[in-house]
Structure 1
Amino acid sequence: MKTWILVADEAHARLFESERLDGELSEVADFVHPEAHHADRGHRDRLPRAHQSVGSARHGIEPRTSTEEKVTREFAAELSEFLNEARVAHRYDHLVLMAAPAFLGSVRSELDPQVARMVTHALDKQITDASVDRIRDELRHLH
């Protein structure tokens, strides 16, 4: 049985495959979401303006969802779509999620219900840029 391991944060994700959690890892895919680094740059300085109904005062309007949150959700949705297409193609049997704490919730909320049922472990770890050995060590602790 193949297990896929998604190691991700809001800007970068690596996908590994292993026959066993304590076995060798081979990298299946690498995702980079450069928009995450630029999400709010330029948007924070100048908010949309609104006039008060009485007087001439103008105030900045805070968006309900920040650009950063939208970009994070888009990346989580992109990863989810890839995982769902791979599930349909029977490319893996189990899924382990390792993601930065805030991003883990975003990924889980975007997963197709059938993909979500394949998740055997979810770790809130910020180790996207870690070595394969470090990732393998984290997986060994799951037994």
Structure 2
Amino acid sequence: MQIPEGTLIVVADGGSARVFTNVGERGKLQLKQHGELQVEDFSAQGLLGQGPSGSVPKDMSTSQLNEATFARQLAQQLNDDALKQRYKHLILIADPKTLGHIRPQLHKEVQERLLKEIAKDFTNSTLDDIQRALAA
């Protein structure tokens, strides 16, 4: 599969996300990193975070709350950016648990732009490893 120039690539886990764009021309894959998003720790707020569905289940630990809230916030950002036409194509790479939290929260506009999902944790991987995974 060729990855179009300008494709947004998000590499996430339960606590962070690295954001890339394919800047390669004529079907060549060349990633440029734009930033990194970090999970906000809600433990100092006494578990007042948003939780996976906007509320906090009683049996959820602080780390689980942080992970689910981060996945929710990431999905909301992807939704917002798609609705504002900030990207045409998306590839989402995340560990299976995080991907499971994100997937049901994605707007139809995001789903239509989604070229590929990879259910594996690449957040601490090198740029070369990420590019190899995308090329596979």
Q: Give me the whole-angstrom Cα distance separating, in 1, the residues matched to 2:72 and 2:104.
A: 9
1:26 to 23, 26, 32: 32
1:9 aligns with 2:13: yes
1:69 aligns with 2:73: no
Matching residue of 1:83: 78
TM-score (norm 2): 0.74
Whether the aligned pair in 1 keeps the contact of 2:40 and 2:66 (CA below 8 Å) is no
Gaps of 5+ in 2: 48-56
Gaps of 5+ in 1: 44-61
Q: Give me the whole-angstrom Cα distance separating, in 2, the residues matched to 1:90 and 1:83.
A: 10
Whether the aligned pair in 2 keeps the contact of 1:22 and 1:139 (CA below 8 Å) is no
Whether the aligned pair in 2 keeps the contact of 1:77 and 1:111 (CA below 8 Å) is no
1:31-84 Cα distance to aligned partner (Å, 9 max, x none) = 011528x69xxx9xxxxxxxxxxxxxxxxxx93444443322211121112212
Q: Give me the whole-angstrom Cα distance separating, in 2, the residues matched to 1:22 and 1:129.
A: 23
Matching residue of 1:98: 93
> Percent same amino acid at aligned positions?
29
Q: Flag the 1:140–1:22 CA change in 2: closer, same or farther, 3 A.
A: farther
Q: Which amino acid aligns with 1:29?
A: G
Which deviates the most, 93-102 or 82-91? 82-91
Q: Which amino acid aligns with 1:28?
A: H
Tell which structure's C-alpha radius of gyration is larger.
1
SS for the counterpart of 2:124 is coil
Q: Which amino acid aligns with 1:139?
A: L
